[in-house]
């Protein structure tokens, strides 16, 4: 069973880290690096931050509805989404 409190804390930390990186990249003021930095920031937003935000919303819904009140199929699917965000939001992504 997934520990939602721990997952929430980890996801918030990951989101903050990735948002900080995006902010840094968006502040790059170099004609040579500007496009690459903005493209990378955009990819971080789409590939990492959006799934983390989705997982955080799922945890919010689970807390609102109650873990025991969720249908099994939804619980399994939502736990997969949270686990995926925890796995890929922090470290390894193969391109």
| Domain contains 94 | no
Task: Check residue 92 and give its pLDDT.
Answer: 53
pTM: 0.87
For residue range 22-76, what is the model confidence (pLDDT) as tens digits? 999 999 988 889 899 999 999 999 999 999 999 999 999 999 999 999 999 999 9
Tell me how far CA of residue 52 lies from CA of 8, 10, 20, 42, 75, in angstroms: 10, 10, 14, 15, 17
Which domain range does residue 55 map to? 4-88
| Domain contains 24 | yes
Question: Looking at residue 69, what DSSP letter applies?
Answer: G
| Domain contains 93 | no
Count structural domains, the chain. 1
| Domain contains 95 | no
Nearest CA among 90, 85, 13, 6 for reference residue 50: 85
Spatial CB neighbours of 45, under 8 Å, sequence gap ≥ 6 = 22
| Domain contains 27 | yes
Task: Check residue 21 and give its pLDDT.
Answer: 95
């Amino acid at each position: 069973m997934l520990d939602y409190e721990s997952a929430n804390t980890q996801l918030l930390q990951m989101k903050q880290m990735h948002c900080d990186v995006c902010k840094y990249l968006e502040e790059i003021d170099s004609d040579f690096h500007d496009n690459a930095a903005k493209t990378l920031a955009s990819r971080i937003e789409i590939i990492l931050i959006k799934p983390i935000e989705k997982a955080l919303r799922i945890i919010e819904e689970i807390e609102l509805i109650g873990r025991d009140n969720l249908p099994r199929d939804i619980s399994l699917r939502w736990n997969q989404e949270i686990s995926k965000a925890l796995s890929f939001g922090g470290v390894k992504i193969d391109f």
